[in-house]
Amino acid sequence: MLALRPARPEEGPALTELCLRSKAVWGYDDTFMQACGKELTLTPATILASHVQVAELDGRLAGVAEVKSSGDTAQLEKLFVEPGLLRTGAGRKLLDWAKATARAAGATALVIEADPDAADFYRRMGAVDDGLVPSGSIPGRLIPRLNLPL
Ligand SMILES: CC(C)(COP(=O)(O)OP(=O)(O)OC[C@H]1O[C@@H](n2cnc3c(N)ncnc32)[C@H](O)[C@@H]1OP(=O)(O)O)[C@@H](O)C(=O)NCCC(=O)NCCS
């Protein structure tokens, strides 16, 4: 059964690998993936300072999400599911956790700067489009920004 729990600082390297494997499902080449490396890294310090939750299936990491809040908005920093477990409900469960965490921090909306291939997932979860923003990793690339009312 899929269960959620807070990430542990020592899981940083394994969670970073999970993020990279997950991002690569969209078919990006090595150059693109290398450019994303920094943005997809979860350090022990981030895990301690931020809200980071993992999904586990039978004791194995199945996905990870990170939320940062400031004032009345919160940002979904990461949401990555293990490639072999896509479309099995882990994304929805982690997003539900992200929404609850953001709400508890006083946010009224969760902002998502999404991979273009993931945007339809967020729209299905109730997010609405809010323009395009520059990618944090690839100069000149624009990605969808979405807003999920809480
Ligand atoms: C986007 C992502 C997190 C979705 O997670 P998931 O575990 O596959 O999604 P779920 O199984 O919980 O799906 C929930 C619903 O969304 C739908 N859905 C999932 N991915 C979808 C997609 N890419 N496009 C459209 N609908 C999608 C499912 O069919 C399901 O629909 P339902 O309401 O009929 O049941 C996952 O595809 C992923 O990790 N992708 C690679 C990394 C990435 O791009 N992450 C996002 C960074 S912004």
* Domain spans of the chain, in order of start: 2-149
**Which homologous superfamily is 2-149 in?**
Gcn5-related N-acetyltransferase (GNAT) (3.40.630.30)
Q: Phi-psi category of 35—alpha, beta or left, where left has phi over 0 and alpha has psi -120 to 50?
A: alpha
pLDDT tens for 7-23 read: 999 999 999 999 999 99
Predicted confidence at residue 148, as pLDDT, reads: 98
**Which ligand 1 atom is at minimum distance from the Cα of 78?**
47
**What's the 92 CA to ligand 1 centre distance in angstroms?**
7
93 pLDDT exceeds 90? yes
Answer yes or no: are the C-beta atoms of 4 and 94 closer than 8 Å: yes
71 pLDDT exceeds 90? no
pLDDT tens for 108-148 read: 999 999 999 999 999 999 999 999 999 999 999 999 999 99
Neighbours of 37 (CB within 10 A): 13
**What's the 125 CA to ligand 1 centre distance in angstroms?**
9
Closest among 60, 64, 25, 70 to 41, alpha carbons compared: 64
